[in-house]
Amino acid sequence: MPDAWRLADVATHYRRFLKRFGGAIDRFRDAPGAAHDPQQSFVVRTLLIHEYRRVLLRDPQLPAALLPLDWPGAAAYALCRDFYRLTHRAAEQHLAATLEGARGKLPAASPAFYRRFGGLAG
């Protein structure tokens, strides 16, 4: 079992993640859905996933019964999931408009892509 100081360190990283991206998701939610800039959505989604993975790699992945009652991991996951769902369409538009493979346009995303975070709208 990880030391209490290690759990506290991971919790601190989760809280920073929540603080950093909590305000940003509120601004995205306040904007009309069609107003999400594709390039901005791609950048935000990329930064979001990068930061979330950095925190997740530190997480000891303990069962909920062994975690402190105020463990912020579930809240961070929910924020990441919601933000990803909010930005994925516009972010994918940016990728489709700017990237090409050796055979031209990028292929459509695989079904696994749409299963991320419990399901993304196509």
1, pLDDT greater than 60: no
Q: Which domain holds residue 8?
A: 4-118
Number of domains, the chain? 1
List the single range of 12-16, 17-21, 92-96 with lowest mean pLDDT.
92-96
53 burial type by CB count under 10 A (0-12 exposed, 13-18 middle, 19+ buried): exposed
- Alpha carbons 27 and 76: distance in angstroms, whole number: 17
Assign 59 a pLDDT band (cuts: 50, 70, 90): very high
- Alpha carbons 1 and 45: distance in angstroms, whole number: 33
